[in-house]
Structures are given as C-alpha cells and as structure tokens.
Amino acid sequence: MIRYFIVLLTLIFSINGFAQTAKSVNGAMIDLNTKKTIDGIEVQLVNKESKEIYTAISDNHGNFNFKNIPLGEYTFNVSDEDYNPKTFDVSLNEAHIENFTFGSPITSSPEVSWLFNWGDSGEKEYYWSHLTAKIILFLYGLCLLLIFFYSVLQLSLAIAYAKNRKKKAAEVHPILDDAKAPFVTVQLPMYNELYVADRIIEKAAEFDYPIDRMQIQVLDDSTDETVDVIAKKVAEVAARGINIQHVHRTDRTGYKAGALDAAMDQVQGEFIAIFDADFVPEKDWLRQAMAYFTDEKVGVVQTRWGHLNKEYSLLTELQAFGLNGHFAIEQGGRTASGHFINFNGTGGVWRKKCIEDAGGWEHDTLTEDLDLSYRAQLKGWRFHYCEHIIAPAELPITMSALKNQQHRWMKGGAECFIKMWKTILTAKGVKGSDKVHGLSHLFNSSVFVFILMLSILSLPVLHIKDSFSDLNSFIAVGSIFILSTIFLMYYYWMSFRDKTEQTLKSFGKFIVRFFQFLIVSMGLSLSNTVAVIEGYLGIKSSFVRTPKFNVLKKGEKMKSNKYDKKSLSIINIGEFFLFLLFGFTTVNRAIYGDLGMVPFHAMLATGYGVVFYHTIKELRQANRA
C-alpha cells in the first residue's frame, strides 16, 4: 500500500514538473531610431523543441505580455510585417515561474516602405516582385556604370591636362608678322540683339589688325528694331574707313547655321572669325589667334571663353565654374592627348578652305559648330586650342535664359551623336582612343538622362533594400557613385580658376562651389533630359537663342528684357513634384536612421527646389513688370 502511494506521489510531481510555466512574460518595445514606444507590434516566443508559437501584441505604452508560457528554451521574434525582423534567444527556468521581465526595452526599426508590398517578412518571396526588383537593380546599376564611365573619361582628360600644363606654360607664343597677315572676315551672326548689337560691332571694329586685310560681316536675321540699330552702327563704322557690311536676311532658314552658310559667297577673307553678340573681345584677340595658322593643316583656332559678369550672382559663378571645366580640361585635355576637340560656335577662327572641304555649314542640328567640327577633323584637319587667349562673354543671368541655352546645347549634342556616331566608328585612319573619346564627347549630354534615371530608380531601390535581404549585396554597388564624384572633383579642381596661394582656403572654397554646382546641375537634369530625348527622337525645334541683358556688375539692376520670355511649363511642374518627392524621402529616411541615400536625395531635393524657386520668382517679377 505504501509503495503504491509513493508511485502516485511521484506521478503527481512529475506531471506538475512537466506543467510548470512562467505565469507572466513581460517586456516593452521601443523604436530604435526615435526611442519612442511602439504600440500594436506583434512579437512571438517560439519553443525550440516543440516549435510551438506564442504571440503577443504591444499596447498603447509599448508593453507586451505573454501568459502561462511553459518553461524551456525559446526564440524571441519581432514578427510584425511593418518592422524589421529581430531574433534572439530566451531561457525560462524555475526562477521565472511567477514572472519574467526583459531587463531593458527591446528595440526595433520599422521597414520604410512607401510603395506596394513586394515581398513578405518570411522566407518565401513573391516571384514576380522579386523579378521586378532584379530588373530595377539592373537598370540602376547600368546608370551607375555609365556615370562611372563618364567620370573615368573626364578623369583621364584631367590627368592629361595636368601633365601638359608645365609644357604649355613654357611655350613661346608666336607673334603675327603684319607683312604676312592673311585676309580675315569677321562674322557677327545676330538675331534680335537690341541690347548688345552695337557693342560687339564696335569691338570688332577696334581689332588691332591691318585694316586693309579685314572685313566685318554683320549677319542680321533680326525682325525688330535691332535692324535699325545695326544699320546705324554699321554706317558709323564704315564712315571710319572700315570694310563692313550689313547682311540682312528676311528668311531665317537654318537659323545661325543658315546665316553663316548664306554669307559664304560674300566672304572676302581666307579665314573667318566668328563672334556671338554677347562677346567682348580685346583689341589684340584677332592678332593673337591668327599667329597659329602657320601650319596649312590647321583648320580652326579656338580660344577660351572669359566671363564678363561672373560675379553678378551665384548663378553666374556656377556657370563660370562649369564652363571653366570644359575650356580647361575638356578642350585642353583632348588637345594634349591628340583627341578631337570642337569649335565652340564663337570665339574662334576657321580657315575658309576647311569649312568648304568639310561640306560647309549644315543646319540639321542645333549645334552646327559641333557638327562641322567633327566633319572637318574626320577629313584630316587639325584644330588648335589656345587656352591663354581669352574671349570674354556675358553669362545668362536668369534661370529661364540658362535653361534655354542648356536645352539647345543638350539637344544639339544628342542630334550630333545620332548623325555622326556611325561615321566616327567606321572612320579609317582614326585611332581607337580618338573614336572612344569622340563618341563619348558627342554622348556627354546623355549623362543627365542617367542622373535622372538613377535618382528615380533610387526610390524603389530603397524599397527593395527593405523588402529583399538577399539583394542587399547588389545595392552596395551604389558606392561607386562616390568614386565617380571624387573623379569629377579632381576634374573641376584642375580647372578651378579661383585658387590662391592659401591652398587650404582655396580647397575649402572649391568644395563649396563644387557641391553647389553639382546640386544645381541635378536640378536641371529633368529639363536637360527632355532636351536630350528630343534630340535622340529627332523632334525638331527652332533655334532659341539665349537672351542677353548687358548687365555685368554685381548689384547692377537687371534690365527689362523683352526677349526673355517666361511661362510655367509642364517641366516646371515636374521639377516641383520631384522637389517634394525627394524632400519627403530625405526626411523619411533620416527619421528612421537609414542614411545611405539621404545626402543624394537631399541634393536632388535642393537642386529641384532651387531651380523651381528661381523659375517662379522670375515669372512673378515678369508679371509685375
């Protein structure tokens, strides 16, 4: 009897041992980034042996509570679909029968997902959403790769320029012998340049060049009172014994290229110097440039653009910063490496025979200068670039004027690429490196397309990062963008013309200017992308010339300009939308501590915001005028 009683007690105690539980398992959840309590989050305890799952949900104060959990070894999971997974081990033993409390609040960060939910928080992921994510990452990586390739080529030009600087500094510049000075025609193409027409005519008339060997042609396509202003100025200059003609067209076919082509049969000179209306060349400019035509194979001498109103505003300073990069590194670097360069449309001299041999001026693109440059060099003509000879010009002082100029340059570059790429690729006698740099030169405007695509794609990439952990290693390739930025920094540092003997101070000023330039360039990427796409699709548009204001000094009041037309466009609305979109994403990711793309998105938001702000500000000022 006693033996049976002992067995019964043993069974009772054994059953009680198997049934021992922790009556209460308590804890609290807080946000990893904001440190605020999280309500409504689902957490789990998973028994390691039985795999049984116990679930609790946090209350309004972030507290959660599990009731009657059997003692044993568990895995704690944050299993809420709105929060990133978090897992750790928990051991419940006899000491926890009455209560177990996590020693400190458990932290977790939410999945920052603002698109449709592609994947799930478990091991299975939807096939089509995963495939879509891979396609997006491929396009994202392709944009990064193309931008990187662009930056590498620019870096190579900067290195070539740097290596060649000492050699160029030691060069002795030739001096023109007046007795051998060839006959030169100075062409001044204009269209409705009321504010600057007489200035450029006077500057051309003042050239220190044998008067009996110079002709000035004012190629006037104007349709307003500019015609009378030009006629009066031409008569005044002619009365001083200077060979000058006013060539007025009533048919504007071909725009600037058409005017240049139409005047060819009236050109008296062996050489043709070309200046746009906003340029103010020095008296000795023509004499200096003509000294470089001693070699019969030199078809063009191009000089560097200066900036009359660089310090007028931050906008003009940033334009000067960018143009200095082109006129130092691109033109200088290509020249040093023996690659093709381009006539910049103004501030240069052509050999008339070179123009004729290359097929003459054609007006099927908006950048007739770039087009003719490549046709001439493919014919074997050499171009000489003179960085030390400066042709000062006026920079656009309004956002609308800058956009017009950028649109023409970007679209024209794309049109030239479509027109010339096969010819360059199959050209005989042209080095492979020259072909690569030539094609990239014509393709350069497309970098704005890649920047816009990269910025748009970066938004779903953030969602992919949150949703597909197995694809995060591919996203890490985005760090290549930092390397591209460093390469471009070196490129612009080599061309930075505001350096002083205080290197540290100069570099600090450069860094500020570089990122200001980068930000505004990003803000222009939408309008420039539209221009490039129009060029590739063959969509034709008129030659919209850049309005000139004849405003030079900082603080000088901007004059009313009837040519500076302003209106709100669909592109402006798009810029405002992108400002809001990237601004929201910047704040959103910063709040939750995912800072990887915050600087990039902050720059985009600032760039689009600045461009849109100035557009609206100028529009309001125009409406009040």
Distance of CA 532 to the CA centre of its chain: 13
> Which DSSP category does 471 fall into?
G
In order of 152, 197, 226, 369, 402, the CA distances from 548 in angstroms are 35, 10, 13, 20, 11
* Cα distance between residue 342 and residue 420, in whole Å: 14
380's torsion region: left (phi>0), alpha (psi -120 to 50) or beta? left
* Cα distance between residue 109 and residue 87, in whole Å: 13
Of 31, 369, 434, 466, the active-site residue reads 369
Is 224 part of the annotated catalytic residue set?
Answer: no
- 86-92 and 72-78 strand pairing: antiparallel
Q: What does the angle CA 300 – CA 304 – CA 308 come to, to the nearest 5 degrees? A: 135
Alpha-carbon Rg of the chain, whole angstroms? 34
* Cα distance between residue 487 and residue 524, in whole Å: 21
DSSP notation for 397-431: -SHHHHHHHHHHHHHHHHHHHHHHHHHHHH-TT--
3 state SS of 390: strand
Q: What are phi and psi for residue 6, nearest 5 degrees?
A: -65, -40
Is 498 part of the annotated catalytic residue set?
Answer: no
> Residue 601 carries which side chain, given as an amino acid letter?
H
Taking the CA atoms of residue 337, residue 342, residue 348 and residue 351 in that order, the dihedral angle to the nearest 10 degrees is 90
Please report, for the chain, how many H helices and E strands are present, in that order. Answer: 19, 15
Of 221, 278, 434, 564, the active-site residue reads 221
Half-sphere exposure of 322 (CA within 13 A, CB side): 15
The residues, ordered by sequence, that sit 6+ positions from 257 with a Cβ below 8 Å of its Cβ are: 361, 362, 363, 368
Sign of the torsion formed by the C-alpha atoms of 127, 132, 136 and 141: positive
Q: Residue 4 has which token pair?
A: 């049976």
Half-sphere exposure of 577 (CA within 13 A, CB side): 8
Q: Which are the catalytic amino acids?
A: 221, 369
